[in-house]
């Protein structure tokens, strides 16, 4: 099929344009400074250069004091006249212009749509600006670290996933939402949960219970656990999204609510907890805004097999991959010298099997909400 | 590890027990009749037998009149004294007892938890009642068709996924939820959306726009599309769950709202539409309660590449699998003699590439909400 000329449409002025928040104004200033540096260098006939903090494991530091994963000081230069760097240099400028347009229009968009927005064929060549979305996503992460702005502050969101219900009223983009009155469905947590999107209005809840699966959340919500125990109930449908992690962190930091996690007794459950608590390597530069060092792991614990008198039907044998993952996680700097976690992971390996939260169903359908959780909470029996 | 005795705990009386709805009372009657037949046969010293409608492609019929996939009349006998059938026979009785307990307790649960609930080691043997969850899920589907009861009527839900916002007020388990005031997040659609869980209270909306992805939903919600066009906005995060399909069908049948679908221009998008509209082979026995024969496919259309003057950057080459899937879908009985769909699928094959909804971003971030959709609707330009 013959190539057609690329349609170039200027972003329209949005009716909301101009009403930028202080946060947006600051982000735009960062983008302008960033682009301005390039322009200034060009005008002075110096080679334009961008410094990008290095996002690799070797530049990831476990900060004992703040108890989160952070990024070290290593930086990479990207210059326009270096053949191997020129493409990334231009891609960063392209996406920085795209994010500025977004903010000016007061709109948000997805990583996928950003990829499309930045994608075009470079005039006079057959070269595309991006090979695929992965390349575009990487450049957006480079931009985040270079600008010191969260992706959400650049008006870009990842997947929306996860649910909330409980004793809290929030304001979401002007709408007051009473999370006590959302039936069996709940509030669908958006991709961006920054303070200018979501404000906390009235909260009686004393803690947050975060569970791994929507089906487990359903059990707790149906049993009105949050009502009986005065809390907020959230679920992440697996590893929580950035939006969910930011929300949990804000509930912890701004409202002082403890975050208790109910996850499976397997390496994946332990990993999810580790990410919630300490941050992840790939997003170490965001830990200070995403990690919750005070989060607690309530269960399922390896000892629950005997403690809760579960039948052997609940055993799911560990495979080789589980065993090596468990050992990797035990060697994480924040677990390495933590007696409780060493014992817990060893307990999993000694058991030789994993257990899911659903295994407690063997006792009774509501055992987890009526006995297990209340007992763990009363005894302060958790891992931190 | 030594085997421990299986803990057998009798289901507790729930505080809600006894308050069974007419629907629940009827489901329990079906279960009792089902089990009663087995008991009666035993007492009369006849071999207990269960008749299970056959859930296979060969027993799936395209019903031209009702325009949905339905199940034929073929049935399989399952008898207790036939070695190859005895296990499935017992499994069905086991799960029928489990679902009765659930209904009596007025609780709902997940497929996973049902698997655990039914799982135990048969006394005096090393045999488990179920090899894995897949076996348990299959038995639950057998039970659905044998009892003529939806899985949701057995109080069992699949995954909860999908979001709704727009000009409607619903009641969900007693809570009144104004879907016009749910901010950027929206209402998280539960796994069970039957009339005794969700009632429609006040609806001004004139139609439902269902989109494939949460990120696209975010664009429409942020642009307040549902406000400007007086509609309801839903997303299924891929193939919609049973809960979402039931909700859409109820909005269509009970409120008379047209259901318009905005999906990708690829075989997956076409397949999702086919499932929404005609039902799926594996759930053909549910079509009369899940399918929406009047649903319309609004786009993306193969012609949009030229019609919307999109640049070639949006082209994603079809692979061999896409091509064979497209041909399979074109041969579906409900598409086979449908000129519009034949043209549409041929258009995809002639293009040689797929396009995502996000490709419209190349025109403008809000092109899809401000121009594309309004134009399609005004021109009644859709495929049914």
Q: What percent of chain A lies above the pLDDT cut of 70?
A: 95
Residue B3 has pLDDT above 50, yes or no: no
d(CA A92, CA A180): 44
Q: What is the pLDDT of residue A38?
A: 84
Poorest-pLDDT segment among A121-135, B179-193, B211-225: A121-135
Triad B163, B168, B172: Cα angle to 5°: 65
The size of the A-B interface in CB pairs under 8 A is 243
From chain A, the residues in CB contact with B117 under 8 A are 361-362, 365
Residue A369 has pLDDT above 80, yes or no: yes
Long-range CB pairs of B20-25, under 8 A, 24+ apart, other chains included:
B20/B103, B20/B104, B20/B106, B21/B196, B23/B153, B23/B194, B23/B195, B23/B196, B24/B103, B24/B106, B24/B153, B24/B196
> Phi and psi of B15, rounded to 5°?
-65, -25
Question: Can you state the angle between helices A111-118 and B214-222, rounded to 10 degrees?
Answer: 80
Residue A177 has pLDDT above 80, yes or no: yes
Q: What is the pLDDT of residue A40?
A: 86
Buried b (16+ CB within 10 A) or exposed e, A159-191: bbbbbbbbbbbbebbeeebbbbebbbbbbbbbb
CB B55 within 8 A of CB B142: yes
Contact flag B4-A105 (C-beta cutoff 8 Å): no
CA proximity to B245, closest of B281, B286, B207 = B286
> Which residues 172-231 of B are in CB contact (within 8 Å) with A?
172-177, 181-192, 197-198, 214-215, 217-219, 222-223
Contact flag B121-A218 (C-beta cutoff 8 Å): no
Question: What average pLDDT does range B40-66 have in this prediction?
Answer: 86
Contact flag B222-A108 (C-beta cutoff 8 Å): yes
CB A213 within 8 A of CB A269: no
Residue-wise pLDDT tens digits, A192-205: 999 999 999 999 99
Q: Quote the tokens at residue B149.
A: 């009861």
Q: Does domain A22-157 have CATH number 3.30.210.10?
A: no
Question: What average pLDDT does range A133-159 have in this prediction?
Answer: 90
For all residues of chain B together, what is the average pLDDT?
A: 91
Contact flag A161-B119 (C-beta cutoff 8 Å): no
Q: What single DSSP character describes residue B133? A: H
From chain B, the residues in CB contact with A306 under 8 A are 4
Residue-wise pLDDT tens digits, A198-234: 999 999 999 999 999 999 999 999 999 999 999 999 9
B299 touches chain A (CB under 8 A): no
B120 touches chain A (CB under 8 A): yes
> Phi and psi of A333, rounded to 5°?
-55, -35
Residue-wise pLDDT tens digits, A257-279: 999 999 999 999 999 999 999 98
Question: What average pLDDT does range A10-31 have in this prediction?
Answer: 71
Q: What is the pLDDT of residue B2?
A: 43
Question: Can you state the angle between helices A22-43 and A83-105, rounded to 10 degrees?
Answer: 140
Q: Considering B116, B157, B305, B332, which one is annotated as catalytic? A: B116
CA proximity to B280, closest of B62, B65, B110 = B62
Choose which CATH entry (3.40.50.620, 3.40.50.1360, 3.40.1360.10, 3.40.50.1370) describes domain B163-378: 3.40.1360.10
DSSP string spanning A10-69?
PPPPPTTTT---HHHHHHHHHHHHHHHHHHHHHHTTPPPEEEEE--SGGGEEEETTTTEE
Q: What is the pLDDT of residue A333?
A: 87
Q: What is the pLDDT of residue B368?
A: 97
B107 touches chain A (CB under 8 A): yes
**Interface probe with B: pick from A163, A184, A238, most Cβ of B within 10 Å:** A184
Residue A43 has pLDDT above 50, yes or no: yes
From chain B, the residues in CB contact with A12 under 8 A are 364, 366
d(CA B165, CA B224): 10
What is the number of helices (H) and of strands (E) in chain A? 15, 17
Residue-wise pLDDT tens digits, A313-325: 999 999 999 999 9
Question: What average pLDDT does range B251-275 have in this prediction?
Answer: 97
pLDDT band at B1 (very low <50, low <70, confident <90, very high): very low
What would you report as the CA-atom Rg of chain B, rounded to the nearest whole angstrom? 24
- Burial of residue B261 (CB within 10 Å: 0-12, 13-18, 19+) is buried
Q: What is the pLDDT of residue A14?
A: 46
CB B325 within 8 A of CB B318: no
From chain A, the residues in CB contact with B107 under 8 A are 222-223, 365-366
Residue-wise pLDDT tens digits, B58-80: 888 888 888 888 888 999 888 88
Q: Quote the tokens at residue B73.
A: 């009349």
Q: Given the structure tokens 């490709």, which residue do they identify?
A: B359
CA proximity to A148, closest of A292, A291, A288, A254 = A288
Contact flag B215-A163 (C-beta cutoff 8 Å): no
Q: What is the pLDDT of residue B317?
A: 94
A116 touches chain B (CB under 8 A): yes
Residue B13 has pLDDT above 70, yes or no: no
Contact flag B181-A181 (C-beta cutoff 8 Å): no
Q: What is the pLDDT of residue A3?
A: 45
Residue B221 has pLDDT above 80, yes or no: yes
Least CB-CB distance to B362: which of A7, A14, A173? A7
d(CA B231, CA B304): 24
d(CA A66, CA A184): 38
Residue A7 has pLDDT above 60, yes or no: no
Q: What is the pLDDT of residue B38?
A: 84
Distance in Å from the first CA to the final CA of chain A: 59
pLDDT band at B11 (very low <50, low <70, confident <90, very high): very low
Q: Given the structure tokens 């999204």, which residue do they identify?
A: A241
A127 touches chain B (CB under 8 A): no
Residue-wise pLDDT tens digits, A90-139: 999 999 999 999 999 999 999 999 999 999 888 888 889 999 999 999 99
From chain A, the residues in CB contact with B163 under 8 A are 160, 188
Separation in Å, CA B24 to CA A222, B29, B103, B152, B244 = 17, 9, 7, 10, 21
A157 is catalytic: no
Residue B9 has pLDDT above 70, yes or no: no
Q: What is the pLDDT of residue B19?
A: 65
Q: What is the pLDDT of residue B198?
A: 97
Residues of chain A with CATH 1.10.10.10: 22-157
d(CA B259, CA B245): 11
Residue B271 has pLDDT above 80, yes or no: yes
Contact flag B110-A364 (C-beta cutoff 8 Å): no
pLDDT band at B220 (very low <50, low <70, confident <90, very high): very high
Residue B384 has pLDDT above 50, yes or no: yes
pLDDT band at A19 (very low <50, low <70, confident <90, very high): low
Residue A49 has pLDDT above 50, yes or no: yes
What is the number of helices (H) and of strands (E) in chain B? 15, 17
Residues of chain B with CATH 3.40.1360.10: 163-378
Q: What H or E segment, with its residue span, contains residue B207? A: strand B207-211
CA proximity to A300, closest of B342, B21, B116, B278 = B116
d(CA A285, CA A145): 7
Q: Greater confidence, B287 or A232?
A: A232
For B316, which residue in chain A has the nearest alpha carbon?
A132
B97 touches chain A (CB under 8 A): no
Q: Greater confidence, A268 or B40?
A: A268
**B68 contacts: CB under 8 Å, gap ≥ 6:** B278, B279, B287, B288, B291, B293
For A131, which residue in chain B has the nearest alpha carbon?
B313
Residue A8 has pLDDT above 60, yes or no: no
Contact flag B184-A190 (C-beta cutoff 8 Å): yes
């Amino acid at each position: 099929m013959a190539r057609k000329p690329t349609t170039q449409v200027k972003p329209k002025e949005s009716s909301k344009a101009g009403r930028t928040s202080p946060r947006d104004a600051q982000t735009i200033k960062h983008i302008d400074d960033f682009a301005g540096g390039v322009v200034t260098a060009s005008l002075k006939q110096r080679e334009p250069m961008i410094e990008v903090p290095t996002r690799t494991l070797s530049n990831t530091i476990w900060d004992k004091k703040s108890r989160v994963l952070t990024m070290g000081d290593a930086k990479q230069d990207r210059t326009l006249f270096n053949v191997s760097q020129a493409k990334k240099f231009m891609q960063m400028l392209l996406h920085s212009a795209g994010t500025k347009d977004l903010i000016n229009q007061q709109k948000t968009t997805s990583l996928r749509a950003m990829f499309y927005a930045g994608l075009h064929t470079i005039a006079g060549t057959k070269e595309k600006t991006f090979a695929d979305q992965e390349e575009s996503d990487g450049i957006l992460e480079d931009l985040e670290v270079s600008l010191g702005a969260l992706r959400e502050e650049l008006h870009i969101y990842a997947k929306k996933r996860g649910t909330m219900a409980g004793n809290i009223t929030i304001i979401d983009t002007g709408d007051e939402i009473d999370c006590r009155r959302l039936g069996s469905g709940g509030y669908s947590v958006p991709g961006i949960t920054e303070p200018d999107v979501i404000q906390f209005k009235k909260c009686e809840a004393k803690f947050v219970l975060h569970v791994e699966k929507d089906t487990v959340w359903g059990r707790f919500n149906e049993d009105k656990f949050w009502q009986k125990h005065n809390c907020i109930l959230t679920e992440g449908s697996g590893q929580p999204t950035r939006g969910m992690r930011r929300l949990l962190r804000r509930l912890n930091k701004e409202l002082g609510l403890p975050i208790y996690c109910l996850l499976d007794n397997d390496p994946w459950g332990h990993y999810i907890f580790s990410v919630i608590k300490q941050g992840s390597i790939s997003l170490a530069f965001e830990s200070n805004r995403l990690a919750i060092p005070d989060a607690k792991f309530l269960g399922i614990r390896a000892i629950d097999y005997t403690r809760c008198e579960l039948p052997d039907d609940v055993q799911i044998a560990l495979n080789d991959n589980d065993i090596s993952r468990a050992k990797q996680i035990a060697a994480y700097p924040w677990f390495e010298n933590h007696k409780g976690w060493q014992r817990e992971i060893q307990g999993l390996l000694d058991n030789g099997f994993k257990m899911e939260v659903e295994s407690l169903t063997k006792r009774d359908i509501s055992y987890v909400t009526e006995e297990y959780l209340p007992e763990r909470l009363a005894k302060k029996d958790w891992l931190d």
